Amino acid sequence: MTNMENILEVKNLKKNFATQKAVDNVSFDISRGSVFGMLGPNGAGKTTLLRMITGIFYPDDGTILFEGKKFDPLNDIVRIGYMPEERGLYKKMKIGEQALYLARLKGLSKSEAMDKIRYWFERMEMQSWWNKKVQDLSKGMSQKLQFVTTILHEPSLVILDEPFSGLDPVNANLIKDEIFNLAKKGSTIIFSTHRMEQVEEICDHIILINKGEKILDGSVKRVKQDFKENLFQVGFERKPDTLPDNTVFETVGTRGEHFVLKIREGYKPHDVLQYLIAQSHEVISFNEMLPSLNDIFIKLVEGTPLARQFQYIEKA
Amino acid sequence: MGKIGLIIEREYLTRVKRKSFLLTTILVPIVIIAFYAIIIAVSISGDSKVQKIAILDNAGLFDGKIEPGKDDKSGYTFIQNETEESFKTKYNREGYNIFLYIPEFSDSQPGPMKIHSQAAVNLFVKTALERKINAAIERKRLIAADIDPDIYQKIKSDIRIENIVDAGGKEKKSNTWITYMVSFAGGILIYMILLIYGTMVMRGVMEEKTNRIAEVIVSSAKPFQLMLGKIVGIGAVGLTQFAIWIVLMSLLQLFIPLLFPQFFQQLPSGDQVGAAMATQAGNSGIASAIEGLRSLPVGLILFCFIFYFIGGYLLYAALFAAIGSVVSEDQQEAQQLVFPVMMPLILGFVIMMKAVNAPDSSLAIFGSMFPLTSPIVMMGRITYGVPWWQIAISMALLVLAFLFFTWLTAKIYRTGILLYGKKVSWKEIWKWVVRKG
């Protein structure tokens, strides 16, 4: 079923390297204009998956639909901007020339490319860099340049692999704002990372990949709901020493001045409140405790080696 | 402009704009021409200074008269009433550079002759003097043996054999020496081109891999486009460099006659008896070299040179590119991996050295057919005349080998450039080649 709402539909994608399954039967859809998080520990197969979506690798099996049609790397890659995790630029080439070259490789004409470069260099305060060489830039500066060259040709799909690694908070925020801006203008963003705190903030939808397989798929809100453990945090005007055992909830622990309660099967939050009020406690706060993506992530991949050694071919 | 075009343009411009490119491109011809000029300057330096030679001829060899050669600027003066010991201390004060002492001797046994001078005597002056003394002694002996020296001159024989090559219905004069030199130079030139520009391609690929730019580029262009663009771009750099070298050298060599006018004025004149050695050697050498060059199939040689330059370069550049893509950061690893590519290159060089001496040996014929050695070896054979069918087979094999190796290396390259931080074995490389898709 093709859906024009989806910019990318991946179905049963497989890629093996000799004896190792790098990507095993992964399917997901990405809706247009969303920020899509692809999570997973190191060596889960994220990069291989991204390389198939960018046409660098051919899948062994499965299909990729790009904007409703079968993905054609030759023509479609100009609509994609890919910033790989391993950043790279020509060290000895001047920055302006480099940006121009990369933009023209993406199919822009020289004058189009120049206009876009001028716009972005001004926006990112990089005008004075034009005649500098990459080897003279700091790491943060070259990251900024890398980002600009990725999105210069206004791709409809932007793929960013660990975009914030090596950035200071100021530049990280700058890039984050640009990611939101791109999404607002209709670009779709795939955001691959193993760092969860940014994902909660940025992504609409996530999938979790582990050992080449998709083990989780959903909106950030939905995933958190699915993994909630019915934990609530209660604050009292006067904190009692203990709460008696009862049928409605069990006391899991305390957190500062608050108690952490787990509601028993069959009861609802308001049953807890009713019970507490009936016990003449003065409740001043009552919040649901949703798990962080980090907790979910650790819970799901726990017990599997976090850093699977990624290799193309195992030594016989 | 297509993507390959863009890549070629970048590879070409970034290299041509470099200062080091400008420096080598301009310096190399200047150094070669300067070297050439120095050789000429040294060889004629003996003539440029007028030598005043004092001769104490106790043996009466010259009978008081000596014929200077046509271009011999030396002045000869016979000294009387002196001994070696007495004049030794005076000749310099009296304005002579050289004092030649010929002791008295019996007809059969010339005594030890000596040249006194303030500084070591120029080799050419010394040989010229020796030649004159030998001629005088010979003349004395001829007279002693009752032979008229004029009759002897008529009897004396001094022949040179001329080699006529009858290929192609036309008679051509062959000059073995010049043929040898051109073959040798052609072979070495091709060898150096393959080595220099081949390793340039390898370094370019390694740079892209270690800078991690390769993955960015292959998300915009196919790896094959990147590889081919780089090979063609660097090849164009090589052609540019050669074109500039040829133009610069031919311009610069025009200045040489201006620097040494006296040397080149003598060029048209024929044999000169008694002239200084240097002039004579230079004279006949250059004349016969020009004649020898005219005798060579220049058009064919140039065509072959360009064909084997391009064909050999494309073939080896593809191999070097594959090696560059496999190497991780380690320079030492590059040296190990490059060895299998260097082997046929060196083998070609060795066979070429044999081929210039024995151009029709089976080893030379094999070497000029086998695509990995043919660019070098064929250049070593071509001046001697190679049957056209051998050239045709050799060229066809080279083109086929180029297509085959480009297909093969593209597979290695595609996987290699995206593989970081892992040492790769030959077995794994073989798996990339046989893997489908």
Confidence of residue B290 (pLDDT cuts 50, 70, 90): low
Nearest chain A CA: its distance from B342 CA (Å):
27
Q: Which residues contact B38 (CB under 8 A, 6 or more apart)?
A: none
CATH assignment of A6-225?
3.40.50.300
User: pLDDT (tens digit, 9 = 90+) per residue, B235-276?
Assistant: 999 999 988 988 888 888 777 777 766 665 544 443 333 333
DSSP state of B168: G
CB atoms within 10 A of CB B54: 23
To the nearest whole Å, the CA of A97 is away from the closest chain B CA by 9
- Between CA A265 and CA A59 the distance in angstroms is 45
Helix-helix angle B298-326:B374-381, to 10 degrees? 160
Tokens of A192: 């691959």
Q: What is the pLDDT of residue B200?
A: 92
CB A45 within 8 A of CB A23: yes
pLDDT exceeds 80 at position B40:
no
Distance CA A59, CA A81 (A): 19
Which of A160-169, A295-304, B126-135, B295-304 has the weakest average pLDDT? A295-304
Fill in the amino acid letter for B52.
K
Sheet of A20-31: strand order equals A20-31, A6-17, A61-66, A69-70
Structure tokens at B380: 């070593």
Chain B residues in contact with A82 by the CB 8 A cut-off are 216, 219
The residues near B224 (Cβ < 8 Å, ≥ 6 apart) are B410, B413, B414
Q: Is B424 on the interface with A (CB under 8 A)?
A: no
Q: In chain A, whose CA is at the least distance from the CA of B5?
A: A105
Of the residues A14, A17, A101, the best mutation for testing chain B's interface (the one with the most B CB atoms within 10 Å of its CB) is A101
Q: What CA–CA distance (Å, rounded) separates B246 from B240?
A: 10
CB A20 within 8 A of CB A314: yes
Tokens encoding B263: 């040397």
- Check if the beta carbon of residue B221 is closer than 8 Å to that of residue A105: yes
pLDDT-based confidence at residue B429 (cuts at 50, 70, 90): confident
Least confident of A181-190, B124-133, B167-176, B196-205: B167-176
Q: Which of B267, B249, B248, B247 is nearest to B257 (CA)?
A: B267
A 13-72 residues inside an 8 A Cβ radius of B: 18, 51, 54-56, 58, 60
Q: Are A209 and A44 in contact (CB under 8 A)?
A: yes
Comparing C-alpha atoms, which of B231, B246, B305, B338 is closest to residue B15? B231
Nearest to B16 by CA among B8, A314, B329, B330: B8
Mean pLDDT of B103-122: 78
Q: Which of B308, B300, B292 is nearest to B378 (CA)?
A: B308
Taking a contact as any Cβ pair under 8 Å apart, which residues of chain B between 177 and 216 contact chain A? 207-208, 211-216
Q: CB–CB of A198/A243 below 8 Å?
A: no
Cβ count near B351 (within 10 Å) = 23
The alpha carbon of A177 is separated from its chain's Cα centroid by a whole number of angstroms, namely 15
Q: In the β-sheet with A205-210, what is the strand arrangement from edge to edge?
A: A80-83, A157-161, A188-193, A35-39, A205-210, A213-219
Taking CA atoms, B293 is separated from A112, B301, B385, in Å, by 55, 11, 14
Confidence band for B47, pLDDT divided at 50, 70 and 90: low
Which ipTM did the prediction report?
0.78
Contact B211 A93 (CB under 8 A): no
The answer to whether B393 and B306 are in contact (CB under 8 A) is no
How far apart CA B216 and CA A86 sit, in angstroms, is 9
Give the whole-angstrom CA distance, residue B381 versus residue B180.
9
Question: B9 phi and psi, to 5 degrees?
Answer: -60, -45
What DSSP line would sit under chain A, residue for residue? Answer: ---TTEEEEEEEEEEEETTEEEEEEEEEEEETT-EEEEE--TTSSHHHHHHHHTTSS--SEEEEEETTEE--HHHHGGGEEEE-SS----TTSBHHHHHHHHHHHTT--HHHHHHHHHHHHHHTT-GGGTT-BGGGS-HHHHHHHHHHHHHTT--SEEEEESTTTT--HHHHHHHHHHHHHHHHTT-EEEEEES-HHHHHHH-SEEEEEETTEEEEEEEHHHHHHHT---EEEEEESS--S-----SSEEEEEEETTEEEEEEPTT--HHHHHHHHHHTT--EEEEEEEPPPHHHHHHHHHTTS-SSPPP-SS---
Chain A residues whose beta carbon lies within 8 Å of the beta carbon of residue B220 = 77-78, 102, 105-106
Cβ contact (<8 Å) for B216 and A84?
A: yes
pLDDT score at B346? 93
Kindly report the backbone phi and psi dihedral angles of residue B391, in degrees, each rounded to the nearest multiple of 5, phi listed first.
Answer: -60, -45
More confident residue, B293 or B312: B312
* Amino acid at site B91: Y
pLDDT at residue B404 greater than cutoff 90: yes
Q: Which residue has the tokens 């050697």?
A: B281
Cα–Cα dist A81/B6, whole Å: 18
Residue B39, burial from CB neighbour count under 10 angstroms (0-12, 13-18, 19+): exposed
Place of tokens 């006296």: B262
Residue pLDDT, tens place only, B50-108:
778 888 888 888 877 777 665 666 788 888 888 888 888 888 888 888 888 888 877 66
Give pLDDT, residue A315.
35
Residue of B3, B14, B420 with shortest CB distance to A93: B14
The model's confidence at residue B282, banded by pLDDT at 50, 70 and 90, is very low
Q: For the whole prediction, is pTM greater than 0.90?
A: no
Provide the CATH number for the domain formed by B49-155 in this structure: 3.40.190.10
H-helix or E-strand spanning residue B124 = helix B123-144
- Specify whether the CB–CB gap between A81 and A157 falls below 8 A: yes
**What is the rounded CA–CA span in Å between residue B359 and residue B380?**
8
Coil, strand, or helix at residue B356?
A: coil
What order of strands is seen across the sheet that includes strand B75-78? B75-78, B52-57, B98-102, B114-117
Q: How far apart are CA B340 and CA A262, in angstroms?
A: 69
The rounded distance, in Å, linking the Cα atoms of B68 and B76 is 8
Provide mean pLDDT across the span B147-159: 85
Rounded to 10°, the helix B223-252/B176-210 angle is 140
Instruction: Go through chain A and tell me how many residues it has.
Output: 316
Residues 6+ apart with CB under 8 A from A219: A204, A205, A206
Q: For residues A315 and B20, give the distance between their C-alpha atoms in angstroms, rounded to a whole number.
A: 43
Q: Is B431 on the interface with A (CB under 8 A)?
A: yes
**What's the pLDDT at A103?**
93
Of A89, A105, A106, the CB nearest to B211: A89
What is the CB neighbour count within 10 angstroms for residue A118?
13
B16 touches A: beta carbon within 8 Å: no
pLDDT beyond 50 at B226: yes
Q: Which one-letter DSSP state was computed for residue B34?
A: H
**Which regions in chain A score pLDDT beneath 70?**
1-4, 18-19, 303-316
In the numeric block, the tokens 């080595």 are attached to B195
CA-CA-CA-CA dihedral for A161, A167, A170, A173, to nearest 10: 10
Rounded distance, CA B416 to CA B79, Å? 84
A4: Cα separation from own chain's centroid: 23
**Residues A130-166: tens digit of each pLDDT:** 889 888 888 888 888 999 999 998 899 999 988 888 7
d(CA A180, CA A164) in angstroms, rounded, equals: 14
Where are chain B's structural domains?
Answer: 3-41+174-434, 49-155
